[in-house]
Amino acid sequence: MKVLVLGSGGREHALVYALKKSKRVSKVVAAPGNGGISDVCDVFSINPLDESQVLDLTLSQRVHLVVIGPEAPLVAGIADALKKAGILVYGPGKSGAMLEGSKVFAKKFMKRHNIGSASFDVCSNYDEAESALTKRTSPFVIKADGLASGKGAFVVEDLSSALKVARELLVEGKLGDAGHTVIVEDFLKGYELTAMAITDGNSYKMLPLSQDHKRVFDNDEGPNTGGMGAYAPLPQVSDDLKGRIESEIIRPTVEGLKADNINFTGTIYAGLMIHDGDPYVLEYNVRFGDPEAQVVLPICNVDWGELFLSCCRGTLDELDEITVNGSAVGVVMASGGYPEKYETGYPIEGLDGLKDKDDVIVFHSGTKKEEGKFLTKGGRVLTVVGLANDLKSAREKAYHAVSAIHFKDAHYRRDIAWQAFV
């Protein structure tokens, strides 16, 4: 079958990589793709949010299956339009995508289905936010309801700063429509991890747990980013906790969607806080994480084409559970200044020497290819992934590869996977 991967980031490069290995897939194309993706398959310059453009491409290329990578096309209902046209789609429709598209929807869903989450208030104006904040103690957590490209969650230490954030969102419209309603919730202290599962709406398969590193600097300092690196699996997490994450978070989520008559085909991503040993959902995503996908997909013993096809056909329960082969550590190389102001267009050197290695994969995010050369094009430029039987060796391989890649003002964290070695 022919597969279209929709999106342009490192996650989509990882999806292309995984699907090209599938025995069920004859050809992979991508739209709009990036420099690295264009190096391994045909790419098409379309707007993934434009329903007619996506449909036209899918039909003209005779695509059998569309795998939607990012959240924005899912929230926009692109999956619904494709399914209506008779195209198989891996990714939820608009109703299921609300789990990520609306924090209010997600919190009410969790409350309704008894899924662990921080106590919260929904605030649609400044006065409500002020009331919700003043009854809580520091630190204060405020989240914009809608999609905000990873910039909609705020954790502040003092009440005056929290009220300032509330005013910026609800009065000044700092995040536009995304911040017209906010969630004020209790602060949960502990450590974060990512739990992802594949579902056809009835059954599900767990993927190995992973951990993202959101802060831009070492020691988890500086502003939040889209993710500066990730690793999988997590040796520090006990089998008991893994079992609880599945039974208390993932299974009730799948069952809750079914109970609410939401037909959900795709990836359930639960961003978790382990607070006093108990798992709580911080946020849902309705797609693979980025950079988590870059470390999870390569270590799963599965034919990804077969898996996605089974989800679309509702036959996931016929497949074996997903097993894991080794460990992976992914280090994001970013443009200097990211996530604030940064410059692009710089040549990237050192990639050719890593091209044919079995234990290193370089996934492109913000790159373009001009006259045979890769140039930087975004904040997060590359995810450099090391693979090995154990986490320590995978980490060493990743950082050795990073040291071989050069572009002007390149920035990366030097402590990815640190929590596994504490």
What are the residue boundaries of the structural domains of the chain, listed by start?
Answer: 2-94, 121-185
Q: Collapse the DSSP code of 269 into the 3-class scheme (helix H, G, I; strand E, B; otherwise coil) and give the result.
A: strand
Per-residue confidence (pLDDT) for residue 356, from 0 to 100: 85
Q: What is the pTM of this model?
A: 0.96
Distance between CA atoms of 54 and 35, rounded to whole angstroms?
Answer: 20
pLDDT of residue 224: 87
User: Which pairs count as long-range contacts for 236-244, CB under 8 Å and 24+ apart, including other chains?
Assistant: 236/419, 236/420, 236/422, 237/193, 237/209, 241/274, 241/277, 241/279, 242/209, 244/278, 244/279
The predicted-structure confidence for 257-314, as pLDDT tens digits, reads as follows 999 999 999 999 999 999 999 999 999 999 999 999 999 999 999 999 999 999 999 9
CATH fold of the domain at 2-94: Rossmann fold (3.40.50)
Is the per-residue pLDDT at 64 higher than 90?
A: yes
Please state the rounded mean pLDDT for residues 163-173: 95
CA distance 227 to 289: 9
- Average of per-residue pLDDT values in the chain: 96
Give per-residue pLDDT as tens, 313-336: 999 999 999 999 999 999 999 999
Residue with tokens 């890593």: 354
**Percentage of the chain exceeding pLDDT 70:** 100
- The per-residue pLDDT for range 333-380, each reduced to its tens digit, is 999 999 999 999 999 999 999 988 999 999 999 999 999 999 999 999
Whether the pLDDT of residue 26 is over 90: the answer is yes
Tokens representing residue 107 in the block: 């919190």
Residue 422 has a pLDDT of: 83
| pLDDT tens digits, 403-417 | 999 999 999 999 999
> What pLDDT is recorded for position 315?
98
Of the pLDDT bands very low, low, confident and very high (cuts 50, 70, 90), residue 151 is confident
pLDDT at 190: 95
Assess whether the region 2-94 and the region 121-185 belong to the same CATH fold. Answer: no
Query: How many Å is the Cα radius of gyration of the chain?
Result: 21
The answer, yes or no, to whether residue 149 has pLDDT greater than 80, is no
Q: How far apart are CA 321 and CA 25, in angstroms?
A: 21
State how far the Cα of 30 lies from the Cα of 15, in Å rounded to an integer. Answer: 10
**Mean pLDDT within 74-100:** 97
Q: Give the tens place of pLDDT for each residue, 27-42.
A: 999 999 999 999 999 9
- What is the CATH T-level fold of the domain 121-185, as seen in this structure? Dna Ligase; domain 1 (3.30.1490)
92: CB partners within 8 A, 6+ apart: 74, 79, 99, 262, 263, 264, 265, 266, 286
